[in-house]
């Protein structure tokens, strides 16, 4: 189990690095766009599109990081006051609902990604599958992290189920 946890920690770190790189690239491209538009008085065609696509990837991958770190918005006051058996059941049920949602989005995103392979983006002239691929990629990580959460919810003592750290 320790090896799996280390592998998941490594995957989370890799996602975080990708998100930071995407954010830095978006920032640099945004500054370059302003400089070219207002200082050099010439407009670049690709930065706006690339910023948009990097933002999409950052959102989907960052959502997986936030899910694993238990940083998504939740109203836990009711669950915190439930008896241990109901607390565990409520949390597992909520996680299973998330798994169902992620699975539906994964399947739909994958089908959409395959459907748009032939479409080319206007400025970058790359397949739109590169953009839409963020959906199944993000959902795959969310499904993996949800499986980890389910295992943790199943085996942890009831008083540790709502703990922030894992």
**Domain spans of the chain, in order of start:** 2-160
pLDDT at position 136: 98
- Specify whether the CB–CB gap between 62 and 23 falls below 8 A: no
Here the tokens at position 51 are: 């910023």
pLDDT at position 94: 93
pLDDT at position 21: 98
Task: List the pLDDT tens digit at each of the 166 positions of the chain.
Answer: 799 999 999 999 999 999 999 999 999 999 999 998 888 888 888 899 999 999 999 999 999 999 999 888 777 788 888 898 898 999 999 999 999 999 999 999 999 999 999 999 999 999 999 999 999 999 999 999 999 999 999 988 877 777 554 4
pTM: 0.89
pLDDT at position 165: 47
Q: Which residues contact 24 (CB under 8 A, 6 or more apart)?
A: none
Please give the Cα distance from 133 to 77 (Å, whole number).
36
Please give the Cα distance from 94 to 78 (Å, whole number).
13
pLDDT at position 75: 73
What's the full length of the chain, in residues? 166
pLDDT at position 68: 94
pLDDT at position 25: 97
pLDDT at position 58: 98
């Amino acid at each position: 189990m320790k090896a799996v946890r280390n592998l998941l920690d490594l995957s989370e770190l890799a996602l975080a690095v990708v998100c930071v790189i995407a954010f830095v690239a978006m920032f640099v491209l945004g500054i370059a766009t302003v400089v070219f538009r207002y200082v050099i008085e010439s407009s670049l065609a690709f930065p706006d599109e690339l910023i948009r696509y990097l933002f999409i990837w950052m959102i989907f991958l960052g959502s997986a990081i936030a899910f694993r770190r238990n940083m998504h918005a939740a109203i836990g006051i009711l669950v915190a006051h439930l008896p241990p058996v109901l607390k565990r059941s409520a949390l597992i049920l909520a996680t299973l609902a998330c798994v169902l949602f992620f699975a539906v989005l994964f399947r739909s995103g994958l089908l959409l990604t395959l459907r748009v392979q032939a479409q080319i983006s206007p400025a970058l002239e790359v397949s739109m599958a590169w953009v839409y691929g963020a959906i199944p990629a993000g959902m795959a990580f969310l499904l993996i992290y949800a499986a980890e959460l389910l295992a943790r919810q199943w085996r942890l003592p009831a008083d540790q189920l709502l703990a922030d750290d894992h």
